[in-house]
Amino acid sequence: MTSDVADTQHLDWLARSFGRTDYAPLYPDDLETLKRVAIKRFKFDRSHLFREGETATAAYVVVKGTVELYRGTGSNRRVVARVLPGGIIGDIALFSDEPYISSAQAAGNVDLLRF
C-alpha cells in the first residue's frame, strides 16, 4: 500500500470517528488500517495507560480486552466506563490539549494501538 493510500484511509477514519455522534466503536476495517500506522502496545492486568489530571500525550484504540475508565482514588474511586475492542480512549483530551479527565486501567491483559 502506498503512503498516499494509507494517509487517505487515515483521514477518512478521522472524519468518520470524530464526525460520529453515536460513540460506537471503530469498524473492523478501521482497526486494520490503524494497525498499519499506529504503535502497538500491550498492558498487563491493572496497569495504567494514563491517570486523571495527567497531560494528554496519546490516544488509544482497544484491540483486545477491556479498559476501565475511573475517576477519583481510594474509597472515592468510581468506574465511569468500560471500553471494549474498537473503543477509543484519550482522543478528546489529546486533540483539545487538555489533561485526561479520568484514569484508564487495564481490566485484564489488553492489546492497544497508540497514536
What CATH number is given to the structural domain containing 85? 2.60.120.10
* Residue 112, CA distances (Å) to 30, 32, 38, 44, 94 in order: 14, 12, 9, 11, 16
Instruction: Report whether 103 contacts 48 (CB < 8 A).
Output: yes
Q: Average pLDDT by consecutive 10-residue portion of the chain (115 residues)?
A: 59 57 68 84 98 95 95 93 92 90 97 93
Instruction: Report whether 47 contacts 105 (CB < 8 A).
Output: yes
In which domain, by residue range, is 30 found?
3-114
What is the per-residue pLDDT for 37?
83
Domain count, the chain: 1
The C-alpha cell of 99 is what? 489533561
Residue whose cell numbers read 475508565: 69
What is the per-residue pLDDT for 96?
87
Task: Tell me the HSE value of 60 on the side-chain side, using a 13 A CA sphere.
Answer: 29
